[in-house]
Amino acid sequence: MLRLFKKKTEEEQLRSRYQKLMHEAFLLSRKDEQASSAKTAEADAILFKLHQLNDRNSILV
């Protein structure tokens, strides 16, 4: 209830987007391998951004 009006952090947004893309890739893998690979590549790019964000945060601390 306390997070009702709080915005998600950048990391939370990226994690949410990554999970959504991986789920979509899994569902597409049954029908269209190329589309699944494209979604996985997009998810990998987001995962790379997450790693960069975590590295930047660990340096600052």
Give domain limits for the chain: 12-60
pTM strictly above 0.75: yes
Average pLDDT, the chain: 90
- Helix, strand, coil share of the chain (percent; to 5): 80, 0, 20
Residue 60 has pLDDT above 80, yes or no: no
Instruction: Answer yes or no: is pLDDT of 5 > 90.
Output: no
| 12-39 tens-digit pLDDT | 999 999 999 999 999 999 999 999 999 9
Residue 61: per-residue pLDDT: 56
How much is the pLDDT for 33?
95
How far is the C-alpha of 5 from the C-alpha of 29, rounded, in Å?
37
